[in-house]
Amino acid sequence: MTEPATPYMASKKATPESSVALRARIPGWGVDLDPKDRPSFPREQPGIETGAHWKFPDRQPEMQPRERSIEHAMLTPAFGTSAPLKGASGAIRGHAYRRYSEGRAAHWLLLIAADRVDAWENHLKSFATLRPDNPITETGIGSEFSGNGLKSRTGKRVDANHSWLDPVIVAGPWVLAGLGAAAVLRAVRGRP
Amino acid sequence: MRAMVYRGPYKIRVEEKDIPKIEHPNDAIIRVTTGAICGSDLHLYHGMMPDTRVGTTFGHEFVGVVHQVGSSVQNLIPGDRVMVPFNVYCGSCWFCSRGLYSNCHNVNPNATAVGGIYGYSHTCGGYDGGQAEFVRVPFADVGPSRIPDWMDEEDAVLLTDALPTGYFGAQLGDIVEGDTVVVFGAGPVGLFAAKSAWLMGAGRVIVIDHLDYRLEKARSFAHAETFNFAEYDDIVVHLKKETDYLGADVVIDAVGAEADGNFLQHVTASKLKLQGGSPVALNWAIDSVRKGGTVSVVGAYGPIFSAVKFGDAVNKGLTLRMNQCPVKRQWPRLFEHIRNGYLKPSDLVTHRIPLEHIAEGYHLFSAKLDNVIKPLIISTTA
């Protein structure tokens, strides 16, 4: 009868590579062997030196109302100001922050929905500027040619089963919007 | 200044933006010389991270030169060459004062569950990132450090996230001498995790991916055994066979939200945004680790629910450990390892892309073209 596999017995059957062999083969093998002598150990170190020379930081001026999670007791002393709330997407985001905590699915699903609205608001707005959105340059599709797109996709890549969806996701709404605009134009022209 | 700007899923461009201003007395403005695209930036790029607003600039891996400092900054002066951890953190809140820098409570009004991250959506604080000529760095006395004279700039930029996160992933595994360690994902973080597992005394390191060129790098750079999961009907069963049916002692998920290997999981997460992430690698980790083993998660996931096989984790008595890496706590040891020649992070750099061509860089990295592993972004001010 063959010997049972490892988990059916008390010890590992396979003989591991010796530490001497590993040290010779792998540069630096075992230099951090002691778990207690690794960075971030212990995980929590009360009083750790951080460079902060304040008990509580100065507060960044709130130049315009700043949305915040209702799980926060107050606006944090520092915050990002990269893209304040605006438009319909801003209204949806503001509602998600005011009404729902981070523990509610509605909070995140509204924020995801607002992201889609935001993209379309800005695409449409861009058509009234000297630099309208250009899905060709903005998707960086040019690297398909400079980056050996076809050759790179040979071999056993499992992402081939879904990468065909990317152009549908990117171009699909533009095609639908174009067809919609054409239909509206046709309808307007067709009126007596 | 010139800056990468998000225009919606899969669409970015370079625009003219105002140079950021000092908004808080402990801010610094950094002139970026080298940045990078992180695998986790792709989750933003694909529109997966809630509250990613059009007009924001991505980029949480960057180094540069101090351009201006706020009135309370004591440790930096204009002209200093600095490396900036991806964490925005205050250094003084309940969490920071215990060393949990990535869980800072004073920098992100939008969420309590996550700290601040440069250029990583409003869910992470709404800060612009470093894929630009200039960037605002809050709490300049806490986060940034001067780049040591002996350190290469490309090594420094990889120390702002990828290397510390990979090393932290291995550390979270609580590896003991002789352990069998499996790493899912042969991107930069996975490769650094595999390499770090040896430093912590692993007896065997196995890396799993579906991209042969990355697995080749796992063998040459991280001395790992490798398996392409696309070649196996069931990679979990294969790993069981490889470990004489015991399972690995430690498994590290260095893939995160856009894991491949299950069409339904990937499409519902990455394409339809109905999950916070595709938990294929995490589920494989739970299934391929031994009972009583440890699963370390450093792959990035969004805040929405994901279909994780939690029952197996309970029934196997697993230890699940995870966090965003508190980068600056890792630095002294990693500096030592680089100086001693045990780690050479810039060996993973495959592409150096001018900021003006960043849209092509994102597509190249997203579609995994041209054997890309780590693309750097070279600023026009460098």
The ipTM estimated for the assembled molecules is: 0.96
Vertex B370: Cα angle to A163 and B382 (nearest 5) = 115
**pLDDT at position A1:** 64
Among A28, A77, A126, the residue with its CB nearest the CB of B106 is A77
Taking alpha carbons only, the member of B231, B174, B239 closest to residue B207 is B239
Which one is predicted more confidently, A176 or B105?
B105
Look at residue A155 and tell me whether its pLDDT is greater than 90: no
**Residue B287, pLDDT score:** 98
pLDDT of residue B136: 98
In the prediction, which pLDDT does B51 show? 98
* Cross-chain Cβ contact B199/A28 below 8 Å: yes
Q: Residues 48-107, chain A: which have Cβ within 8 Å of B?
A: 48, 50-58, 60-61, 66-69, 71-72, 75-83, 89, 93, 97, 102, 105
Q: Is residue A189 predicted with pLDDT exceeding 90?
A: no
* Window A:162-191, CB contacts with B under 8 Å: 162-163, 165-166, 169-170
Question: Phi and psi for B67 in degrees, rounded to 5?
Answer: -100, -35
- Residues from chain A that touch B337, judged by Cβ atoms under 8 A, are 28, 31
In sequence order, which residues have a C-beta less than 8 Å from that of residue A15 and are 6 or more positions away? none
Convert the pLDDT of each residue in B251-297 to its tens digit: 999 999 999 999 999 999 988 888 999 999 999 999 999 999 999 99
pLDDT value for A56:
98
Whether B200 contacts chain A with CB within 8 A: yes
B39 compared with A167, residue with greater pLDDT: B39
Q: What local confidence, expressed as pLDDT, does residue A173 receive? A: 81
Instruction: Please check whether residue B220 touches A, CB under 8 A.
Output: no
pLDDT < 50 regions, chain B: none
Residue scoring higher pLDDT (A16 or A58): A58
Give B 313-372 residues with CB within 8 A of chain A: 326, 329-334, 337, 340-343, 358-364, 367-372
A142 touching B, CB under 8 A? yes
pLDDT of residue A156: 78
Measured in angstroms, the CA of B382 and the nearest CA of chain A are apart by: 23
- Enter the tokens of residue A42: 């212990």
Give yes or no for B381 touching A (CB within 8 A).
Answer: no
Chain A CA closest to residue B180: A16
Rounded alpha-carbon distances, angstroms, from residue B165 to A21, B178, B220, B265, B334: 28, 22, 20, 25, 11
**pLDDT of amino acid A164:** 87
For A66-94, how does the pLDDT look when each residue is reduced to its tens digit (9 = 90+)?
999 999 999 999 999 999 999 999 999 99
Taking only residues 158 to 197 of chain B, the set having a beta carbon closer than 8 angstroms to any beta carbon of chain A reads 167-168, 171, 174-178, 196
8 Å CB contact of A38 and B200: yes
> Contact at 8 Å (CB) between B224 and B166?
no
> What digits encode the pLDDT tens for the residues A112-154?
999 999 999 999 999 999 999 998 999 999 999 999 998 898 8
Could you tell me where the beta strands, DSSP code E, fall in chain B? 2-8, 11-16, 28-36, 62-69, 81-84, 87-88, 116-117, 134-137, 145-146, 180-184, 204-209, 225-228, 248-253, 289-297, 319-322, 349-354, 374-378
CB contact under 8 A, A31 and B199: yes
Q: Flag whether pLDDT at A171 surpasses 90.
A: no
